[in-house]
């Protein structure tokens, strides 16, 4: 089962990573000014993860593949790592769909 890990960036902002059961990071959030914003972002990921239309599949200038998960309002709530293939990217999306809804939350800022 997956888990969300809340951490603090060097600039003081909060962020979360969604990790698959094997510990691999599959989604990273933007920076949030406060922890409650970060927690709201996690809830938004849980809510939107199952909707295939919420994923923006992209190809970077260097030919690598990645995706963004968007909320209902179109705002990006999480971004993936870079993948070598479109199939890898699509596997990452399936992993978010599978892991996010029931993921636990681990807060490393306390």
Residue spans per domain, the chain: 3-107
Is residue 110 very low, low, confident or very high in pLDDT (cuts 50, 70, 90)?
A: confident
> What DSSP line would sit under 29-75, residue for residue?
---BSSHHHHHHHHHHHHHHTT-GGGEEEEE-TTS-EEEEEE-TTS-
When pLDDT is averaged across residues 46-66 and rounded to a whole number, the result is: 97
**pLDDT recorded at residue 3:** 97
**pLDDT recorded at residue 5:** 98
State the architecture of 3-107 in CATH terms: Roll (2.30)
Q: With 90 as the cut, is the pLDDT of residue 1 above it? A: no
Is residue 45 very low, low, confident or very high in pLDDT (cuts 50, 70, 90)?
A: very high
């Amino acid at each position: 089962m997956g888990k969300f890990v809340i951490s603090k960036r060097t600039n003081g902002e909060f962020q979360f990573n969604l990790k698959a059961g094997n510990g691999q990071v599959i989604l990273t959030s933007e920076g949030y000014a406060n922890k409650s914003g970060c927690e709201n972002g996690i809830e938004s990921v849980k809510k939107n993860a199952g909707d295939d239309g919420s994923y923006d599949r992209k190809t970077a200038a260097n030919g690598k593949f990645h995706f963004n998960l968007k909320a209902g309002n179109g705002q990006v709530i999480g971004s993936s790592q870079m993948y070598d293939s479109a199939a890898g990217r699509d596997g990452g999306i399936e992993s978010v769909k599978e892991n996010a809804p029931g993921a636990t939350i681990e807060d490393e800022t306390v």
